[in-house]
Amino acid sequence: MLHPALRRDARPPIAPGGRQPSRRASVLFVCTGNSARSPIAEALLRHRAAPGVTVTSAGSRPKPRVHPDAVRVLAERFGIDITGQRPRHLDTLAGRRFDRVITLCDKAREACPELPDAPRRTHWSIPDPATVSDADGAGYAAFQDIATDIDTRVRHLLPVLTLDQP
């Protein structure tokens, strides 16, 4: 095992000394359409994180709805239901404070504005699974691969969020 957060039975992180953080850590995931990568990341971090973490996602050019394969892969592989989630524009978060902003594509990194309190920025360059042709089921397989990749990254992020807390 290379990282404690990757254990199947890994528990949400606890701050040093065995206590929960005194304030909530806040994370914003950003991709272009807010219909695939960022909703998957938001759902997985919310699913795996301690109650002291708030998670939001947004897009620089949001699509009208979350991609059905994003909804499907989260339900089938992780038991997470995001059927009621709707894409949101970055502008709707103006003035909100985040501790960490994670961009999931190069276009989003370029379009992401400066946010209040200068949050820590991280970039995960993840290909858009919605651009893969659905011929022979390749489209859904791309969503499965992306969800696995994002889940691994989220598990690595969990201990870092604990360290970010004051």
- Asked if pLDDT for residue 166 goes beyond 60, the answer is no
157 in a structural domain: yes
- Report which of 46, 28, 147 is spatially closest to residue 89, judged by C-alpha positions: 28
Residues, the chain: 166
Q: Is residue 7 part of a domain?
A: no
Give me the pLDDT at residue 25, please: 86
Given a cut of 80, whether residue 103 has pLDDT beyond it is: yes
| 112 is a catalytic site residue | yes
Distance CA 59, CA 39 (A): 10
Where does the pLDDT of residue 23 fall: very low under 50, low under 70, confident under 90, or very high at 90 and above? low
pLDDT at 113: 67
Q: Which residue has the higher pLDDT, 166 or 34?
A: 34
CATH number at residue 105: 3.40.50.2300
Confidence tier at 1 by pLDDT (50, 70, 90): very low
The whole-number pLDDT of residue 21 equals 43
Report yes or no: 117 and 93 within 8 Å, Cβ to Cβ. Answer: no
Q: Which domain holds residue 153?
A: 23-161
Report if residue 4 sits inside a domain.
Answer: no
Residue 2 maps to a domain:
no
Question: What mean pLDDT comes out for the span 106-131?
Answer: 80
Per the annotation, the verdict on 98 as an active-site residue is no
Please give the tally of structural domains in the chain.
1
Q: Which token pair is 55? A: 């998670």
8 domain residue, yes or no: no
Residues above pLDDT 90, as percent of the chain: 51
Catalytic residue among 31, 36, 40, 161: 31
What local confidence, expressed as pLDDT, does residue 41 receive? 97
Please identify which residue in the block is written with the tokens 């989003």.
108
Give the pLDDT score at 69: 95
If you average pLDDT over residues 51-56, what whole number do you get?
Answer: 88
Q: Which of 44, 112, 126, 158 is catalytic?
A: 112
In a domain, 34, yes or no: yes
Q: Which pLDDT does position 165 carry in this prediction?
A: 55
pLDDT band of residue 151 (cuts 50, 70, 90) is very high
**Sheet-wide strand order for 53-59:** 53-59, 25-31, 100-103, 120-123
Catalytic residue, chosen from 105, 126, 142, 147, is 105
Task: Residue 143: count other Cβ atoms within 10 Å of its Cβ.
Answer: 25
152 is catalytic: no
